[in-house]
Amino acid sequence: MLKRYSILALVVIGVEILLLYLFQTPMKEMRWIPRTYEQIVSDNTVFAASLLPSLFPSPKLKTENHKPETVERHTFLEQQLITFGLVNIKQIDSSIAVSLKYASKDNFLHQNLYGEIKNCYLQKDIAEKLAKAQQILKKRFPFYSLIIYDGVRPLGVQQLMWDDLQVPEKLKDKYVSDPKVGSLHNYGCAVDVSFINENGWEMDMGTPYDYFGELGHPIAEKRMIEDGKLSWRQFENRKLLREVMTEAGFMTISTEWWHFNGSSLKEAEKKYYIIK
């Protein structure tokens, strides 16, 4: 009988030694065993805290590196334009350069009229015509690119331009459409453009943008050449711009070499809302 108990005792001791070896938990870490819930949550050195992690290791979670998404922020004016269905030309053709003159002080009013907006917005079909013009230009001269000076223009900005234009009242509508009538710019159906070379230099058109004088009138180009005020190179640059834009479906006007209409005013009134 004694022999049986001795064998049993040896077995129990052996099992205890095996368990201690498997658990590999130092005895000094098992200072006491908690008996209440409060003891479990209030002490981080209890038996459970030191022993359970080795018995039931937590599964390793896969970590993925996510690049932060770029959130495009829009100004209040841009959000208004998007609501009215207009599109950013860069979303149609990112190769077209944009330099909005009325979003800077580089204009005849010498003030920023568009605030923080830097993108050119147009009606989608007009933007697609402009992208076609860019393709035509690139096919003929790959080192040239269109550059936009103005696209959609809110009616309120049109009014400021009309009021501050320093020309006789009867001549104002040659340079800025009367806000009482409205302009194709106000519908996002007109665009003011020129073109640049591969170095970003604007080509010589004989006058700067928004030049208020006869030298900027396409209708007067022949006489300006004869008078020596417009060179043949300047004329050829204007001619190229007109050819590219008209082939894409735009129409010219007689008083601004930079201005092109993508539709008639009647068509715009039927299809679109005026931007105020």
- The pLDDT of residue 7 is 67
Q: Which CATH architecture has domain 76-271?
A: 2-Layer Sandwich (3.30)
Note the pLDDT tens digit of each residue in 55-82.
Answer: 445 455 454 554 444 445 667 788 889 9
What value does the mean pLDDT take over residues 247-265?
97
- Mean pLDDT value across the chain: 83
Mean of pLDDT values over 224-244: 98
Burial 180-203 (b: 16+ CB within 10 A, else e): eebbbbbbbbbbbbbbbeeeeebb
- Cβ contact 151:103 at 8 Å: no
If one compares 16 and 51, the residue with the highest pLDDT of the two is: 16
CATH 3.30.1380.10 residue ranges of the chain are 76-271
**Distance between CA atoms of residues 94 and 194, nearest Å:** 16
pLDDT tens for 160-201 read 989 888 888 888 887 788 888 889 999 999 999 999 999 999
Give the model's pLDDT for residue 52: 43
Output the pLDDT for position 6. 64
Q: What is the pTM of this model?
A: 0.72
What integer pLDDT is reported at residue 12 of this predicted model?
61
Where does the pLDDT of residue 99 fall: very low under 50, low under 70, confident under 90, or very high at 90 and above?
Answer: very high
**Per-residue pLDDT at 212:** 85
φ/ψ of residue 135, rounded to 5: -65, -40
Instruction: Give me the pLDDT at residue 181, please.
Output: 86
For the stretch 17-61, pLDDT in tens is 665 555 554 444 444 444 444 444 444 444 444 444 444 454 554
